[in-house]
Structures are given as structure tokens and as C-alpha cells.
A and B are shown apart, each in its own frame.
Chain A
Amino acid sequence: MAENIQTNLINLEEKLNEIDSQINKFKQISSDEGIKLNEVVEILERKKLQLLDELDAWQKTLIARHKDRPLASDYINSVFTGFTALCGDRHIMDDHAIISGMAYLEGRPVVVVAQDKGRTTEEKVLRNFGMPHPEGYRKAMRVMKFAEKFDRPIITFIDTPGAYPGIEAEERGQALAIAENLRDMSQLTVPVLAVVLGEGGSGGALALSVADRILMLKYSIYSVISPEGCASILFRDAGKAPLAAAALKLTADDLYKFKIIDQIINEPSGGAHRDPKSTIENVKAALISNLDDLCKKDKNELVKGRYKKFREMGVFCSFEN
């Protein structure tokens, strides 16, 4: 079933490409022959939008994981200047699932902490498919404390299937590393801005997302569990991932409605991979405008505001006993 749906996405992409080429053809004819074909072009544009409106949660999940989707390193290279990596957790190793360092955003010094899945096979292995070990989370926290010490705002990019589930990760305290990040990020005295680029996989994503503002790309997802994991446990069939994706309400639109995230960053129709350049520009603009706001706040305001933001998350009620 999952395969069918995967094919659906490919079909969708083919359809989109076909419509795009038709639009271009009509536009060409229109200008070459001097005939007005506006109506035809409009109909085609509408058809395209219709196709995109119909994207369901599972299709968005597949777009969020698309092999050509821009990765954190693409944003780091294009959005910032002078990126200089800071490496290692100072204890065990340098976890390459996390890229962190100093950079300039339009001349403003910032600290970047990002998850990156890697593009080529080699990179994927190096970056462990974007699944950090405890050392990755400790490296991230070390670099965030560096930012705090030197009063630099922090930008985090989220793109991970989750924290790595392995023997060494457990031995070295994966749960502890995540928990400490949650606790310590809540007290950081500098602005923290989190952007979900692709997959926001559970605690492994949250451990970099205790931020003053949380932004999501239009076709990114953020969830307590992967649709596949949820399907195999609750629906007792991993093939029901599309159903689980819908039930989990994990799209940017859902999370914006739930007031979990603060802003949706627009993507070109069909996904960032269809026009990485414009997506990167959108991300850059969103970073600048949000940092402008956050940098006006003093330390106390930031910490209090962040506490209040997470304090208010949850939907519960009072039962009369």
C-alpha cells in the first residue's frame, strides 16, 4: 500500500510537470502568434491548484521526505555567509547528524544548529540519515550555550526521522541527552528560532525545538511518532501509514491551527524540491523578520515568554468527581 501511495506522488509530480509544460506551450503560442489564450492558461493554473489542494497528509509526508528536498546544509550555504562549523560534544565525538556553527545572516551574527540527513549515500551514512546520537544533542546544547555566553541568537533547523534507536545511543543516555536539552533550552537567555524543514520526528526533533518561535515549511511535518510507527502499533498494520498520517494531524496547516507553531513558510507548489531557490529565499525572509522581533526582547522577557509558550500547550479539562 505504501508503495502505491509512493507511486501516487510520482503520478502527481508527472501531472504537475505536464500541466506546467502545457501552460508554457500555450504562453509560447500566445506570444508567438499574438493570440489571446489567457483563459486556457487560467484553467490550467486552476487545475494545478486543485491538484495541490487535494494533497493529503500522507502525500505531504512523502514530500517532506522527498529525496531532492533541500537539506539544512543547502539552507546554511545559501541563507548565511561565513558559516564556520563548531564541532564535537567535548566528551566522546563529533556527531555529523548535527551541523552547528557561527554564521552571518545579512550581516547579523547568529549561531546555527541543524539536523541534516545527507544527500548522497556517503553523506547519508556520515550523517546517520539525520538521526543524532546522544553526542549530537550534547553537541547542540554545547553550541547553544556558546551562543548564550556571547549573546548571539540561535537558529535551529529540524529535519530528522527521530533520535537514533541503537545500543550505543541507549548506553550513553539518549533519553537523558534529549531531556537535558528540553530543560536547558527553556532557560536560554538569547532568542531561539526553530524551523522545521522536512521531518520533525518526535523527541529527536523536539530536543532542538524549545524555541521562542517555531516555523514550519508548508510541506514539512512534525509528529509525536512516524505514521508508519503509529500505524503498526495502533492500526496493527504498518501499511496503514496514510491513515495514521491523517489521524496524527501532523501537517504544518494542522499544527498552525492547533497554535503549536507560529508561522508557515510558503513553498512552491508541489514542494521545495521543485524550486529550491525560492524556498530558500522564503526561509531567509522569515528568519530575518522573526529575528528582528525577537532581538527587541530582553533576556527576562525571552525566558518568561518561552516558558509561557510551552506552559500553555495541551488540551485538557476538569472532571467533577
Chain B
Amino acid sequence: MGWFSKLLVPDREKSKVPQGLWEKCPGCQRVIYKKDLEKNLWVCAQCGYHFKISARDRINSLVEPGSFTEMFSDVGSQDPLEFVDTEKYCERYKKSREKSKMNDACITGSAMIGRNKAALGVMDFYFMGGSMGSALGEKITLITEYATANRLPLIIVSTSGGARMQEGIFSLMQMAKTSAALAVHAKAGLMFISVLVDPTTGGVTASYSMLGDIIIAEPNALICFAGPRVIEQTIRQKLPEGFQRSEFLLKHGIIDMVVPRSEMHDKLMFILDFINSNQRTDE
């Protein structure tokens, strides 16, 4: 669960807003012209390293231009535990809201992908490490229920350090809440595509992220329940190379495919066309 957020301090966090025109690739250490990087959806052209991107940038890369309608943007968390660690949770939360101009770690709405309408939930790692509290759980549940009510396929892009510990038991219960909503969506015969990007861990992995009819990951994303450091501490062994990365999960039969960012839109469109094709013939 949230135990792992510590090891997931994003490598790009410090240099999130590049000071100059250049960005250093953490994958191959090359210095890349920022505009080239942006054009390439923040993927290194040399080594294929996928930089973390915000939920808004992600949505732009996935849906038809201008087709996204945001929903449930008002939902935000509270502080039922009145949690204080090195800082008051309510303060920390307020700062995240101000910095990100979002109310929590996820944007939800509907959009067109090709000719297909879909309900969409896209998480943002920059908002408190994509941690799941009440607001995030509520938004994922709301968009799932919206998809069920409107008979829409659902796509959720996950990236998360796990549960938001500051919301204690309420954060844990979001795992059950979101999974229950997906059970109803699935029972209605509707498709859920789960897209996992670096990193997806803890309580988010152990709930809606793993419940896709199709599960797709970006290359080399860390996807796990327990983080590598927790496992190392438990078994007192070094972990094998590539452990818990997308390709590892593909090999072990946990996910369906590894798809680079540049091909994600077309892949989603293919899947949605595929499931909608029967309905078209009926019409």
C-alpha cells in the first residue's frame, strides 16, 4: 500500500518544470531539446524512456482534440482524521491543490477516441504521488457509475504511489468502493480498459487497476502491490533485474500488452472499434 510512496519519489519531480530549453533523459543521460521531447509526447527518441506527464497532457495524447468534457471536477478530499505528520494534512493538501490547479489526483470525464465515446479517468502522479484518498475513490466510482448508466466503455489510466495514508481507513475503503462499482459495470457487459503507467503501486494496483477486461502498460513502468524496497527488506535479497516492470508482468501473464505512448491512442481506438463493431452491424 502506501508504504511504498517513499521509494517512488519521482525522478523528474525536482526538474518537473525544466529551467531551460533542455532536459536530461534519466534513461540514457542524453540532453534533449525540450520542444522535441514535447513533440514526442515526452518520450526520449533515443532510448524510449517515458517521462512522467500530467493528467491533462495525457488526456490530450489519448482523445480526439476538443472532445473531452470534464466531469466531477469539484470533488475534493477532507481531513476526517485531522492527520498531522511532519505537516498538517489539510495544509499539504491545500498546497497540492494550489500547485496543480486540480482538486485531487485524477481527472474524469467523457471523450471521443476515434468514433467511439468513452468514459475516462486519468490519474496524475504529481498530485500527492497519485495517492488514493476519498476524493479519488469517489471520482473513480462516479465515472464508473456514469459509464454503467450510459452504457459506455471505461478507460482508467492509473499512476499511484498507493493509498493516501493521511486519510487512514477511508483511503483503504476506496479500494472496495471502486471495485464494487466496476463489478456492476462488468455485469452490464461493458468494457473496462485499464492503462498502467509508471508507477502504479499499492492500493490502486490492488483494486481497479487490475480489473480491466484488457490491461495495457506503458513500457518499463513499475507495476506492483508491494514496492521493491519493502520486498527487499522482507526477503533480504536483491531483486532480479526488471522485476515488477511492465515486460515482467507481461511475461508472467498479469497484463495483456505493453504499448508505447505514441501508439496508445491507436491501440485504444482499435479495441473500442472492435467491441463496438457488432453494434454497428445491428444498426
Which A residues are within 8 Å of any B CB, using their own CB?
162-167, 169-176, 178-180, 182-184, 186-187, 202-203, 206-207, 209-210, 222-225, 229-230, 232-236, 244, 247-250, 254-255, 258, 260, 306-307, 310-311, 313-321
Contacts and interface: CB of A to CB of B under 8 A. Distances in A.
A15 to B, nearest CB: 31
- Closest 3 pairs between A and B when the two form their complex, measured CB to CB: A165-B226, A314-B134, A186-B180
A318 B225 CA distance: 31
A239 B14 CA distance: 29
Interface stretch (B18-26, B33-41, B78-86): B78-86
B138 A316 contact: yes
B138 A170 contact: no
Contact of A173 (B97, B135, B176, B210): B210
A320 to B, nearest CB: 7
A317 B175 CA distance: 19
Contacts of A203: 1, 172, 175, 202-203, 206-207, 225
Given A179-B210, A319-B76, A224 B1 contact: yes
Interface residues of B, number: 69
A209 B179 CA distance: 13
Interface in B58-106: 73-78, 80-81, 83-86, 97, 103
Nearest to B203: A203
B86 A176 contact: no
Given A179-B207, A202-B172, A249-B168, 18 more contacts: A169-B226, A173-B210, A175-B225, A179-B209, A180-B210, A180-B211, A186-B179, A186-B183, A203-B175, A203-B203, A210-B180, A224-B172, A230-B2, A233-B6, A248-B165, A258-B169, A311-B180, A314-B138
B210 A225 contact: no
Contacts of B1: 162, 202-203, 224-225, 229
Contact of B225 (A178, A234, A311): A178
B225 to A, nearest CB: 4
Interface in B1-51: 1-3, 5-6
Given A236-B86, A318-B76, A223 B180 contact: no
Contacts of A176: 210, 254
A174 B170 CA distance: 22
A230 B165 CA distance: 7
A202 B172 CA distance: 7
A234 B138 CA distance: 24
Contacts of A234: 85-86, 165-166
Interface stretch (B116-124, B231-239, B259-267, B275-283): B231-239
A247 B82 CA distance: 8
Contact of B176 (A225, A249, A310): A310
A191 B183 CA distance: 18
A313 B173 contact: yes
B151 interface: no
B207 A182 contact: yes
A228 to B, nearest CB: 9
A197 to B, nearest CB: 17
A247 B83 contact: yes
A95 B237 CA distance: 23
A244 B85 CA distance: 8
Contacts of A164: 234
Contacts of B271: none
Interface of B: 1-3, 5-6, 73-78, 80-81, 83-86, 97, 103, 134-135, 137-138, 141, 163, 165-177, 179-184, 186-187, 202-203, 205-211, 224-226, 230-231, 234-235, 237, 239-240, 243-244, 252, 254
Contact of A260 (B85, B169, B240, B243): B169
Nearest to A205: B172
Contacts of B84: 247
A250 B179 contact: no
A256 B115 CA distance: 49
B180 A258 contact: no
A174 B226 contact: yes
B35 to A, nearest CB: 31
B179 A183 contact: yes
A163 B181 CA distance: 23
Interface centre among B2, B6, B74, B183 (most CB of A within 10 A): B183
A311 B177 contact: yes
Given A186-B180, A224-B1, A233-B6, A167 B235 contact: yes
Nearest to A232: B6
Contact of B170 (A178, A183, A313): A313
A235 B76 contact: no
Contacts of B187: 187
Nearest to A209: B176
Given A187-B183, A203-B175, A320 B74 contact: yes
Contacts of A247: 81, 83-85
30 contacts: A162-B1, A165-B226, A165-B231, A167-B239, A167-B243, A170-B244, A173-B254, A175-B206, A182-B176, A182-B207, A183-B182, A183-B183, A183-B211, A203-B1, A224-B167, A224-B203, A229-B2, A232-B6, A233-B6, A236-B86, A247-B85, A248-B165, A248-B169, A311-B141, A313-B174, A315-B80, A316-B76, A316-B77, A318-B75, A318-B76
